[in-house]
Structure 1
Amino acid sequence: MAARLHSRLGCSTISFRHQALPHALKTIAGLGFSEIDLGALPGVCDHVPYVLDEAAVADVAAVVSASGLRVRSINGDIGDLNAPLTAAEQRARARHLDMLVALAGATGARAVVLPCGALDHQPLSSLADDLDRVADELIAAAHVAAAGRVELWTESLHFHRLCCDITRAEALTRRFGPEVGIVMDFSHIVASGADPVDFVDRFGPRIAHVHIRDAVPGNINLSVGNGAVDFGRGLKALAGAGYHGHFSLELETRDLTHNERPAAALRAGHVISELI
């Protein structure tokens, strides 16, 4: 009998973003996963419509419910949090956040995840001002999420975004409190040249969720086993720091064909399950 996947290990629908949502959920469930992160990232994963209204929330929630899969988080994007907005743009952002929180509630998700700034390393103003603005937006979003009885998390180190290294991630995290949880992504840490163990040492008690993907410096898009990430060492550090949260395979990789993705996800699931 094949080894079972660990109960704390899920699979992001981003791993199968080339499939329509019902198909992606069927693929994930068929591999033996019982939990997902639901991708809602415009331009990356369109499983949740960017123009999100009550009808779209109900439609997506119904599809997820029919799959039988649990939802750990809604991985969303409401725009560049370091960008100053007009009043109309701010209202549109608030509406989008409200709908993501509603979707989290409708699917039973624990949290909404938002990015750590624009897809650009260069600040729009000064770095300090941009980090202040991102932190203020995350804190405000956390209050909206809390009113909807869900949590607010951010991927505080994202190789392609404003907080592209561990120094910026730490500077951002100093600007908010425990109302915002931290998502640790092994691939972004290693791609940035940082060490996952150092990340755990700095942020351990604040880590709310963990994304799994392989990487080498400068490249986040590798399948588990094809990069330089020492998952055993990193997962041991998380356990030593008292981490009891969940993990999600976020296999937005470019070293596989679409047909190879299910088998690669299953292999990765077994590797990580043995290490948790």
Structure 2
Amino acid sequence: MFNPRLGCSSISFRHQDLPEALRTIAGLGFEEIDLGALPGVCDHVPYDLDAEAVATVTAEVVASGLRVRSVNGDIGDLNAMLDADAQSARNRHLDALLTLAACTGAKALVLPCGALGHEPVRSLDEDLDTIAAQLIAAKQRADDFDVELWTESLHFLRFCWNLELAELLARRLSGSGVGIVMDFSHIVAAGEEPLEYLKRHQGRIAHVHLRDAVPGNINLSIGNGQADFAAGLGALAAAGYAGHFSLELETRDVTHGERPAAAAKAASFITDLI
């Protein structure tokens, strides 16, 4: 029904519990999901992710018949200064998310590009160095699970919120194997241009999130903002991008009852452009 490279994030239906969200997504005709595991944003994956929780979520995903492209998770503020105990707790949380990714057959675990907020903990360079080091260490651990490690950068609400900071982080990650997730809505919300983002990240992009936006607002349905998806997807194709896309419709301009129809409309529109 839709392009097989186009999936739907479970975050799009975060108001439903996971089994219901998966039924909704499959019923619309999607074959693939990004699985939301973001505390305070999407509760489809418990934050206290013990072995029982991993088994439960895995069983629910397997029962749905949907493929998992990525697990979109969070292990805390990556530019925070941690003592040994806090780092050990972070490492345990990372291992739990990687276990979930491996059990569900996900290609990758996605982590944020720093804390919620634009102010550095120490200095811009020191914070970027810390974020990069944490992501590289997470990637090295992900290798043990046969899972890729990606970061969503830029992210309008996070430390690497604009083109300059996203590029500075990408330079620090060069050669590490950490992939970059491009999100149209965060680029537009930051007042930046997706085509300029693509020029600066050519060859680095591992996955693409799709949602519309205007400067300062990331929560719009596709077609209700200023993102030029035709130009952006055309540029991705011209650059040889062969990865997948995910509708991450954490929108505030439709009711929950309207959300399935809005997701189907967006998927048809994007399918025509891919």
The residue that corresponds to 2:55 in the other structure is: 58
1:155 alignment counterpart: 152
- What per-residue deviation string (whole Å, max 9, x for no partner) do you get for residues 146-189 of structure 1? 11100000001000110010100000111112410000000000
The equivalent residue for 2:253 is 255
1:20-49, CA deviations, whole angstroms, 9 ceiling, x for partnerless residues? 000000000000000000000000001000
Match of 2:97 in 1: 100
User: 1:118 matched to which residue of 2?
Assistant: 115
Q: What is the distance in 1 between the residues matched to 2:203 and 2:65?
A: 31
Matches of 1:131 and 1:64, distance apart in 2: 35
- 1:140 Cα offset (Å): 0.1
User: What's the counterpart of residue 189 of structure 1?
Assistant: 187
What stretches of structure 1 move > 3 A for 4+ residues in a row? none
The count of residues paired between Structure 1 and Structure 2 equals: 273
Whole-Å separation in 2 of the counterparts to 1:60 and 1:51: 12
1:206 alignment partner in structure 2: 204
Q: Distance in 2 between matches of 1:15 and 1:217?
A: 21
1:44 aligns with 2:37: no
| CA distance in 2: counterparts of 1:258 and 1:42, whole angstroms | 20
Distance 1:39 1:267 in 2: 21
Identity over aligned pairs, percent:
67
Deviation (angstroms), 1:87: 1.2
Distance in 2, matches of 1:240 and 1:146, equals: 30
* TM-score (normalizing by structure 1): 0.98
1:270 Cα deviation from its structure 2 partner: 0.2
Structure 2 counterpart of 1:18 = 15
Q: Aligned partners of 1:237 and 1:146: how far apart in 2?
A: 31
2: CA distance between counterparts of 1:121 and 1:174? Answer: 19
3-state secondary structure, aligned to 1:112: strand
What's 1:166 paired with?
Answer: 163
Match of 1:224 in 2: 222
CA distance in structure 1 between the aligned counterparts of 2:28 and 2:40, rounded to whole angstroms? 26
Q: Secondary structure at the match of 1:7?
A: coil
1:235-254 matched pairs, under 5 angstroms: 235-254=233-252
Tell me if 1:145 matches 2:142: yes
1:175 corresponds to 2:172: yes
Counterpart of 2:269 in structure 1 is 271
CA distance in 2, matches of 1:261, 1:122: 34
1:132 aligns with one of 129, 133, 153: 129
1 CA distance for matches of 2:30 and 2:74?
25
Q: Structure 2 unaligned runs (5+)? A: none
Report the residue type matching 1:270 in the other structure: S
